[in-house]
């Protein structure tokens, strides 16, 4: 390509996880709409799906990108936060687990976004 080296593309674990989150979000949303009649359970599943989808898309888009170390760490923090937050809500509906991990997941998500913002300043 006219003397410009092409980067070799490596598999991205973060992008893979993002795809899984987005796929699960579509299934959760469908299940909430068609398989659950209780309003609170539907709300929990739809909220979990919304967060899983949004953060899944971010992981797909940025997971394979060339980020600095802080940015890459921020994406892992977002992944963990999404699993804690959405997982807590889904676990509550499907297995009657308490939602005690949801606040920790939410705080983790906020921290991940702050780290991602800081990484953007350090480019």
Domain assignment present for 72: yes
Calpha distance 88→43 (Å, rounded): 13
The reply to whether 2 falls in a domain is no
| Within a domain: 3 | no
User: pLDDT tens digits, residue range 80-120?
Assistant: 999 999 999 999 999 999 999 999 999 999 999 999 999 99
Rounded to whole angstroms, the Cα distance separating 38 from 2 reads 61
Q: What is the mean pLDDT of the chain?
A: 92
Query: 50: domain range?
Result: 13-121
Query: What tens digit of pLDDT does each residue of 61-78 get?
Result: 999 887 889 999 999 999
- Give 83 or 3, the one with higher predicted confidence: 83
pLDDT bucket at 58, cuts 50 / 70 / 90: very high
* pTM (predicted TM-score): 0.88
1, pLDDT greater than 50: no
Mark 53-74 as b/e (b = at least 16 C-beta within 10 Å): bbbbebbbebbbeebeeebbeb
Query: Rg of the Cα trace of the chain?
Result: 17
Label residue 11 by pLDDT band (50, 70, 90).
confident
Tally the domains of the chain: 1
Distance, in Å, from the CA atom of 70 to the CA atom of 19, rounded to the nearest integer, reads 22
Which position has the token pair 């809500």?
89
Evaluate whether residue 90 is within a structural domain: yes
């Amino acid at each position: 390509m006219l003397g410009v080296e092409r980067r070799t593309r490596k598999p991205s674990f973060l992008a893979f996880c993002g795809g899984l989150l987005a796929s699960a979000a579509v299934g959760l949303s469908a299940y909430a709409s068609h398989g659950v009649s209780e309003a609170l359970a539907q709300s929990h599943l739809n909220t979990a799906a919304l967060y899983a989808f949004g953060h899944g898309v971010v992981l797909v888009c940025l997971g394979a990108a060339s980020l600095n170390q802080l940015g890459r760490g921020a994406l892992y923090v977002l992944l963990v936060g999404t699993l804690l937050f959405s997982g807590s809500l889904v676990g509550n509906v499907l297995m009657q687990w308490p939602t005690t991990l949801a606040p920790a997941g939410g705080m983790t998500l906020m921290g991940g976004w702050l780290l991602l913002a800081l990484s953007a300043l350090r480019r």
